[in-house]
């Protein structure tokens, strides 16, 4: 089964998400159009790519504005196939969580706020207009041998900040704004996304008993997230180097006086653990940067942190700086050390460190979604479309990645188009490879399809009418697959 057929078979499982069959067909056409179109990835270009530019286009726009469907249900297809991608029946589900900003040019678009530009320099903060989303991606790796992981988006939730009132607003409006601001933090949005994902996993017998391991950056390693984790969920994230940690409280010897203590003696900070020669160095082998590598780590288990409380012991893992060279024979340079916190003190170091390394794949998701799929390019103003069109595009992107794994595995096979001359090798297919192969198979399907005889339209004098009857690639695909 080729990539195009696999991708279309996954799209067929969206039928239950939409209330009407015609709505599903429009969504299916838009998905193919948004993937096969070039330059700007807009609804209008998707309509043109599917050969419907001379027909009524209003119904295609209403797919995201008026049709009743839940965006989270689009990702259920990935969750249904997730058990078959895990290495064993007891393997945990690894996910990465992060937020992203879709830049816009007008603050009048519903949901657009003035946000901090993540690409700005740390010593010169810039601002931009944008939409804020929280994304959760499932991390899957090859079963046969060690290799690079894939991040399959399973949540892409809209998380706009609170609407700030004007300066001359009443005191009541400002109080309501402060209360709303507390409810719309990124941490609470992340907890909501994780809770919904845990609920979706519990609805499936094959994933219900599995542990959910969440990998996040330092912005999610806080009290709100750690104290609100759903059941059977472990959090792994970066920790600041000067965090104050404590040993377990020793047993009381004799009669206690004064206020009872909750924390034991002060433990060394993560930075002090790194510099302490008394802490044993453990070698952990993980796959990173194209091959298996050995990492030097230091571990302290069963510590407590005030952000997590005394009832949640944690383990602190310090990854020593890794050396690298820009070219053969050049000066040896070092990356920054990593300080990690895990809410499961008994989690294996190999699983923990590999999950942290694979977390980078969600950053690759953000790059693909913005640079190659144009998730931020949609020119819509309806409040529902502003929220659901990016979610619709990310769901289609997730199905495309899943289709590539189901059709050809994690490796780049001979089915893909040849690499350019300046690329020597590629371990796995990139999104550009997937898009090129899908477009090539769409055009091959269009060429193999019977061509209409324009002599049958001799009475039609309008050139636009002839163009309307011309079978374009995506239109031929939808007709053959119907």
pLDDT digits (tens, 9 = 90+) for 134-154: 999 999 999 877 888 999 999
Give the pLDDT of residue 187: 94
CB within 8 A of 423, min separation 6: which ones? none
Could you report the per-residue pLDDT of 436-447, keeping only the tens digit for each?
999 888 888 766
User: Is there a domain that residue 462 lies in?
Assistant: no
Confidence at 480, pLDDT banded by 50, 70, 90: very low
User: Is there a domain that residue 20 lies in?
Assistant: no
Q: What is the dihedral of CA 256, 261, 264, 268, to 10 degrees?
A: -140
Could you report the per-residue pLDDT of 32-73, keeping only the tens digit for each?
999 888 888 998 999 988 888 888 888 899 999 998 999 999
Q: Count the domains in the chain.
A: 1
> In 3D, which of 395, 342, 351 has the Cα closest to residue 369?
395
Crossing angle of helices 58-65 and 21-36, in 10° steps, is 100
User: Is there a domain that residue 277 lies in?
Assistant: yes
- C-alpha 228/C-alpha 317 separation (Å) is 22
pTM listed for this prediction: 0.89
CB within 8 A of 277, min separation 6: which ones? none
User: Is there a domain that residue 243 lies in?
Assistant: yes
> In 3D, which of 35, 43, 46 has the Cα closest to residue 442?
35
Could you report the per-residue pLDDT of 257-309, keeping only the tens digit for each?
678 888 889 999 999 999 999 999 999 999 988 888 899 999 999 999 999 98
Average pLDDT of the chain, as a whole number: 87
Range of the domain at 302: 237-252+260-346
Are the C-beta atoms of residues 421 and 33 closer than 8 Å to each other?
no
Give the pLDDT of residue 325: 84
Q: What is the dihedral of CA 214, 218, 223, 229, to 10 degrees?
A: -10
- C-alpha 267/C-alpha 149 separation (Å) is 35
Are the C-beta atoms of residues 26 and 63 closer than 8 Å to each other?
yes
Lowest mean pLDDT among 269-273, 426-430, 447-451: 447-451
Compute the average pLDDT of residues 335-345. 92
Are the C-beta atoms of residues 282 and 265 closer than 8 Å to each other?
no
User: Is there a domain that residue 447 lies in?
Assistant: no
Give the pLDDT of residue 479: 45
Q: Which residues of 294-313 are buried (b: 16+ CB within 10 A; e: fewer)?
A: ebebbbbeebbbebbeeebb
Tell me 189's DSSP state: H
- Pairing state of beta strands 212-216 and 93-103? parallel
User: Is there a domain that residue 323 lies in?
Assistant: yes
Cβ-in-10-Å burial (0-12, 13-18, 19+) of 435 comes to middle
Element spanning 364, H or E: helix 361-367
User: Is there a domain that residue 426 lies in?
Assistant: no
User: Is there a domain that residue 335 lies in?
Assistant: yes
Q: For residue 463, is pLDDT > 60?
A: no
Q: Give me the sign of the Cα torsion angle 346, 354, 132, 242.
A: positive
Compute the average pLDDT of residues 412-426. 83
Compute the average pLDDT of residues 148-168. 93
């Amino acid at each position: 089964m080729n990539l195009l057929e696999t991708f279309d078979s996954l799209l067929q499982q969206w039928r239950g998400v939409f209330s009407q069959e015609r709505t599903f067909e429009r969504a299916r056409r838009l998905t193919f159009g948004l993937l096969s179109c070039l330059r700007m990835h807009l609804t209008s270009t998707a309509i043109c790519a599917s050969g419907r530019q001379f027909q009524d286009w209003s119904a295609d726009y209403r797919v995201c504005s008026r049709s009743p469907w839940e965006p989270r249900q689009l990702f259920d297809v990935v969750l249904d196939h997730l058990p078959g991608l895990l290495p064993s029946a007891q393997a945990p589900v690894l996910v990465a969580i992060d937020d992203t900003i879709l830049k816009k040019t007008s603050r009048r678009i519903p949901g657009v706020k003035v946000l901090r530009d993540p690409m700005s320099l740390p010593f010169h903060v810039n601002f931009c207009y944008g939409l804020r989303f929280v994304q959760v991606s499932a991390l899957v790796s090859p079963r046969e041998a060690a290799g690079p992981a894939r991040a399959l988006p399973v949540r892409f939730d809209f998380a706009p900040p609170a609407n700030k009132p004007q300066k001359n607003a009443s005191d009541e409006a400002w109080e309501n704004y402060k209360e709303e601001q507390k409810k719309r933090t990124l941490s609470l949005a992340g907890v909501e996304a994780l809770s919904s994902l845990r609920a979706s996993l519990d609805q499936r017998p094959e994933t219900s008993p599995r542990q959910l391991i969440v990998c996040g950056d330092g912005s999610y390693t806080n009290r709100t997230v750690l104290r609100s984790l759903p059941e059977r969920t472990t959090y792994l994230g970066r920790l600041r180097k000067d965090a104050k940690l404590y040993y377990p409280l020793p047993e009381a010897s004799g009669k206690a006086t004064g206020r009872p203590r909750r924390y034991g003696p002060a433990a060394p900070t993560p930075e002090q653990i790194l510099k302490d020669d008394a802490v044993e160095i453990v070698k952990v082998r993980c796959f990173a940067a194209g091959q298996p590598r050995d990492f030097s780590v230091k571990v302290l288990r069963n510590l407590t942190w005030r952000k997590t409380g005394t009832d949640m012991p944690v383990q602190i893992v310090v990854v020593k700086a890794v050396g690298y060279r820009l070219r053969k024979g050049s000066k040896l340079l070092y990356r920054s050390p990593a300080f990690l916190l895990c809410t499961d003190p008994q989690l294996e170091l190999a699983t923990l460190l590999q999950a942290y390394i694979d977390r980078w794949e969600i950053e690759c998701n953000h790059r693909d979604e913005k640079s190659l799929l144009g998730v931020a390019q949609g020119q819509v103003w309806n409040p529902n479309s502003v929220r659901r069109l990016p979610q619709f595009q990310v769901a289609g992107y997730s199905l495309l990645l899943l289709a590539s794994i189901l059709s050809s595995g994690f490796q780049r096979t001979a089915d893909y188009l040849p690499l350019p001359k300046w690329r020597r090798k590629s371990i796995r297919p990139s999104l550009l490879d997937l898009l090129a192969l899908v477009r090539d198979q769409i055009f091959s399907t269009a060429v193999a399809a019977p061509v209409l005889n324009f002599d049958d339209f001799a009475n039609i004098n309008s050139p636009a009418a002839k163009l309307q009857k011309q079978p374009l690639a995506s239109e031929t695909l939808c007709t053959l697959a119907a």
